[in-house]
Amino acid sequence: MCADTTATSTRVDRLRSSLLVLSGAALFGTVGTAQLLGPEVPSPELAAVRLLASAALLLLVALGTAPAASLVVVLREAPTWWAGAGQAGFNLCFLGAMTQSGVSVGTLIAIGATPLLTGLATRHTSRTWLTATGIAVAGLTMLVVGQLDSHAGPTAPSAAGILLALGASASYATYIIAGNAAADRCHDLRSYLAVVFSIAALMTLPIAVLGNVRWVTDVEGLVLVGYMALVPTVLAYSLFNRGLAGVRSGTAATLGLIEPVVAALLAFALLGERLTAMGVVGALLIFAGLLIVVRVESGVAKATQKQENPAPVDT
């Protein structure tokens, strides 16, 4: 890891990294509410325009504050391309799953399966991590089922919708694992994010070119894109990827389960959606699982600190 790894800083760095990942993932949870409060626009085109606007902002920041050579260095790294592909795939698959399988089932599969896929892919698992992840996923299931019960006529999930949700989960896991690998290589974060989102934007560019994006010229459309690009993308991924420098991929994926909790609370507060008793219990279970994960990270740091700073021996 690139951060200060001395014994006195290890515990603080791990806790701070966990909180950064949580903060970024919490901001991800505002996307659905922002989309529903904004003008009615096609989801694929919104995703493509969001990535284009985000890439432009991140490139401006990188070119203005980071060495130009760092962009070239990042561009040559394989994890950067994997992360870009993961970001593009997640946006397209997730939004497709929402229409094909419904928001509740699509979210459950796409977000709930990510920690399991990430943990299995990296093999960074432990009994405590599995327990915490199991509790959090069980809570997510209750939260989603509670939301499903509070809506009339939910969209029946199709085979295509389930496959798209699994594709979104795999893409999200790919992005997290690639981001973790990039953090270990000590890349400049501004350059890394600029290149990653530029790759994702280029991959989804045909959708923006061939689709209907005239709504962007309206004030409401501009506000929606501006918010989607600045808050749940530029700010959120800056926090999220900074946190990836101090936690494992599986841990970051589990902490990402805070996203549907924030989405459900915002829907309750701003969209008038009901939050059932089952949903409340589910949210509390998710928080319990996340608390265990954060405590595990702190415990790992303590153990590392003891190994690096053994108690002095009396002579």
CA geometry: angle at 255 spanning 254 and 256, to 5°?
85
Question: 65, exposed or middle or buried, with CB in 10 Å at 0-12, 13-18, 19+?
Answer: exposed
Listed in sequence order, the residues at least 6 apart from 144 whose beta carbon sits closer than 8 Å to its beta carbon are 104, 105, 107, 108, 112, 260, 282
Q: What is the pLDDT of residue 148?
A: 65
Q: What is the pLDDT of residue 186?
A: 85
Q: What is the pLDDT of residue 260?
A: 86
Nearest to 207 by CA among 85, 48, 46, 40: 48
Q: What is the pLDDT of residue 264?
A: 82
What does the block give as tokens for 62? 């990188």
Q: In whole angstroms, what is the distance from residue 97 CA to residue 112 CA?
A: 14
* 312 phi-psi bin (left φ>0, alpha ψ -120 to 50, beta other): beta
Q: In whole angstroms, what is the distance from residue 14 CA to residue 35 CA?
A: 33
pLDDT along the chain (315 residues), means of 10: 48 83 93 85 90 96 89 94 96 80 72 88 84 92 76 60 89 95 89 96 95 93 95 95 91 91 85 82 93 78 48 45
pTM of the predicted model, to two decimals?
A: 0.86
In the chain, what are the domain boundaries? 7-307
